[in-house]
Amino acid sequence: MSKRKELVDLDLVLPNIPDERDTCVARLIELLEAEGLARVHVVRANGTARLCLHYDPERTSVARLRELVQVAGARIGDRYHHENLRIDGMDCPTCATVIEHALQRTDGVLEASVSYAAERLRVEFDGEKIARTAIVQRIQALGYAVLEEGREAGWFAEHRELIFSGVAGLLLLAGWLTGLASAPRGLSLGLLLGAYAAAGFYTLRDAWQSLRTRRFDIDTLMIVAAVGAAALGAWEEGALLLFLFSLGHALEHIAMDRARKAIEALAKLAPKTALVQRDGAEIELQVEELLRGDRVVVKPGSRIPADGQVASGNSAVDQSPLTGESMPVEKQPGDKVFAGTVNGEGALIVEVIKLARESTLSRMVGMVAEAQTQKSPTQRFTDRFESIFVPVVLVGAALLIVLPPLFGLPFAASFYRAMAVLVAASPCALAIATPSAVLSGIARAARGGVLIKGGAHLENLGVLTAIAFDKTGTLTVGKPKVTDVVAVIGNEERLLTVAAAVESRSAHPLAQAVVTESKRRGFTWREAGEVEAVIGKGVRAEYDGQKVAIGNARLFEGETIPEVIQKQAVRLEAEGKTIMLVQADGQFLGILGLADTPRDGMREVLARLHRIGVRKTIMLTGDNERAGRAIADAVGLDEVKAGLLPEDKVKAMEALGQRYGLVAMVGDGVNDAPAMARATVGVAMGGAGTDVALETADVALMADDLSKLPFAVALSRASRSIIRQNLWVSMGVVALLIPATLFGWAGIGLAVLVHEGSTVVVVMNALRLLAYQE
């Protein structure tokens, strides 16, 4: 007997993995094939990742197959774990590298990625080799803390760097003043040693951790320079170096907290409790206790506690915290609502359809947290540059100490100059230049209703040269609408009333479009008699004592269609519209034109994209050329590629990539998933309404409209611009300070002042993105 196939949703088998590219999927496939299945692989069906299982029905039943999959998935899930942990105590980008390297060399840890900007660790580990507690203890042993979700660091913990720096500054000032006052040198020296200890506490800790992992970093350079200054008797300069270095880090940390809190504010949108109707009474429960099917009471002005569907009541809901929509959205029974959005003036009863951990808001917060730990191409470049540059600087400083005395230069002067070069060459601003901008950009996008799933996608959005769009449901509303009413006998009211009376008996989208238009105009009608559907042609029925026929030209084959009707039919079809001829007792009353209409404001959206530098906009549609061209002309698209199957869209994206370079694909995240995956950046609409859009895209527009796309592209371009500015500032300062210190034009004090000043400048520059307006 031939093999059979069975599809199983991947997220049901491995619910905790980020996507199908995770290594746990490969482990699951290997395990299932070892159990005797002919072949196992991942496919995408309707935008959802699924396991495709090829099996022999003579050896395995469907029930046994599903049991096998669940057992294998449980084994993988129980053994391999994914955690996204909040790290406290990192005071510089090097701390993130230290933690990463320490964990990556720990047996059982499969992957570790730390974002200093976001204070986040993404770790995957083998539960049979190491426990989560052991990972936490390893981090604590390095001098950092792991904060549980929802728990904030205390006031002292948040401000400790600034406190230590302030103490160091006071001790430095006191030591300098006592020196000027000719006080005993021991007193002045004691105060300066105190300044060394307070300012150098965290720097020394970080340098030591780096050296333990066999790495030389910025903290190492600073400690060596400070110790060198002390060895030369320049205690004031050494203390000033450490004080300014610690103060710069403290200010940088406070500034970065602003960006982090902008993202953490998302998680606080959902209320903690909900008023639930159970057993005839209303009780207050924690949102985590809500079950599917529960009915929650949402009072006017309060936040909706869970994703659900309106069971009763009417109200306007402010969805801007989630989708960025500027106007409240009217809700009535049957409409979806989302956790964290704000109810208007009407009371609602909402039936819960998703648990708290599954809500769109919860998943969005999780994805943003995940995005922060993913390094952008520029950040990976600067990391590689720093890993090479710092050891080179140390070697160069050593040569600067050793070689000049051989040619007669005093050792003290040579040593001091080498220490100044160490300070000048520290790429501190470079290390924070990109992550600070990426964090701010992702935070600003999330606040505007755009979910960007990582720094790479943030950067790529800004260099797009072309954008391809799906037609139906993306550029258009996705529903047919009556666009033309041409009455030949009688008036438009008579034509629409007869058509609506007959079509109201049908659930076909075209029929419902006719009914909707008639109701919009305020027309009423009596019920038609029995309706006969003629497949592919139209319908026949009796209405008001007349025999009525409504359909396309094929319904009236053998009959003489008036020339005026024929001309109108040719015109409407040339415009890509569907036609409905309406006949009553053998007389043609007129013709209706229907089409899927463009979304409101689409022409302006595309015009804005062109203004910000997108050279080409292209439609990819499975519809015919005429219908596609009609929509394209209406909204101002540059190109149309019509009659495409899903696999043709993938080939079209490959061709567009060869022609234009970096190309985005915009769709609804369902049928367009393969093409979106092939694009440089896949953009899905309606992330708040469809799980598929959230999962499949690199960028999700949370509202179901494209007005946020120009904002996302412009924000990305602004982010890239700020990243470039930061790189120029950070590398420019290093390039200027190295020769200045090398030739003795600048000492340690000036070098550290300029160095730390540039670090604060790049962070403050990045934070401008939080206030970005297109």
Residue tagged 């999330």 (tokens):
446
CA distance 641 to 629: 9
In whole angstroms, give the CA distance from residue 379 to residue 372: 12
C-alpha angle 752/756/757, rounded to 5°? Answer: 110
- The distance of Cα 208 from the centroid of its chain, to the nearest Å, equals 36
Strands (E), 561-632: 578-584, 587-598, 616-620
Reduced to 3 states, what is the DSSP secondary structure of residue 3? coil
Phi/psi for 559 (5° steps) reads: -105, 160
Measured CA to CA in angstroms, residue 596 lies from 54, 483, 665 at distances of 40, 9, 21
Q: Which of 315, 378, 388, 375 is nearest to 346 (CA)?
A: 315
Q: Which two tokens stand for residue 228?
A: 């060198």
Cα 466 to chain centroid distance, Å, stands at 20
Buried b / exposed e across 400-424, counting CB within 10 Å, b at 16+? Answer: bbeebeeeeeeeeebbbbbbbbbbb
Cα–Cα distance measured from residue 510 to residue 538, given in angstroms and rounded to the nearest whole number: 10
Residue 709 corresponds to which amino acid?
A: L
From the candidates 219, 318, 470, 668, give the one annotated as an active-site residue. Answer: 470
CA 585 from chain centre, in angstroms, equals 59
Reference 103, options 69, 146, 165; nearest CA is 146
Distances (CA, A) of 15 to 82, 86, 288, 607: 11, 21, 18, 41
Nearest in space to 760 (alpha carbons), one of 217, 162, 254: 254
Q: Which two tokens stand for residue 628?
A: 């596609």
* Cα–chain center distance at 236: 48
Half-sphere exposure of 685 (CA within 13 A, CB side): 23
CA distance 652 to 671: 15
Q: How far is CA 498 from CA 9, 98, 439, 491, in A?
A: 47, 76, 59, 11
**Distance, CA of 772 to CA of 445 (rounded, Å):** 9
Full DSSP string of 326-354: SS-EEE-TT-EE-TT-EE-SS-EEEEE-S
Q: What are phi and psi of 548, to 5 degrees?
A: -110, 140
* Residues 737/424, Cβ–Cβ less than 8 Å: yes
Q: Is 374 helix (H, G, I), strand (E, B) or coil?
A: coil
Catalytic residue status for 206: no
- Kindly list the distances between the CA atom of residue 768 and the CA atoms of 248, 259, 273, 722, 730, in Å, as whole numbers in the listed order: 18, 10, 35, 9, 17
CB 120 within 8 Å of CB 84: yes
Q: Token pair of 104, please? A: 């990556």
Q: Catalytic residues, which ones?
A: 470
